[in-house]
Amino acid sequence: MESLELAKKIAAILDAKKATDIRVIEIKGVSGLGDYFVLASGSNTTLTKALSDELEEKLAEIGIQAKRIEGYQSATWILLDYYDVIVHIFYSETRQFYSLERLWADCRQVDISDVIKEN
């Protein structure tokens, strides 16, 4: 699966599980970390864990495993590393504090309106 296709699939899975403020940022060519960041928020730590669990389960069903998962215990910022796609699931207040969109403002935001219901 190509990295853009995976990023969009991740966005769709998170949207279906009620994540909010979902964004896909293309970091390819700007950073060696990967090709895309997927950012999403949950209104509480229980939801951030549920979003992470759902994503792991749905991707495992199609044979995709995370290389690394960080922050699951605190659940205020869970990072799932899918090699070329890095997923950041935030508790809403934590996302506002770190403001990754501002830090990566020079990068292109990918239009995901074809895979999610919220804007």
pLDDT given for residue 110 in this prediction:
96
pTM, full prediction? 0.94
pLDDT given for residue 29 in this prediction:
86
Please list, residue by residue across 67-79, b when 16 or more beta carbons sit within 10 angstroms of its beta carbon and e when fewer do. eeeebbeebbbbb
Question: What Å distances lie between residue 98 and 12, 28, 90, 101, 113, CA to CA?
Answer: 24, 21, 10, 9, 25
Q: Which residues of the chain have pLDDT under 50?
A: 119
Measured CA to CA, the distance from residue 22 to residue 32 in angstroms comes to 22
pLDDT given for residue 118 in this prediction:
55
Write down the domain spans for the chain.
3-109
pLDDT given for residue 17 in this prediction:
96
Report domain 3-109's class. alpha beta
Question: Contact at 8 Å (CB) between 37 and 27?
Answer: yes
List strand residue ranges (DSSP E) for the chain, in order.
20-26, 36-42, 68-70, 77-82, 85-91, 108-109
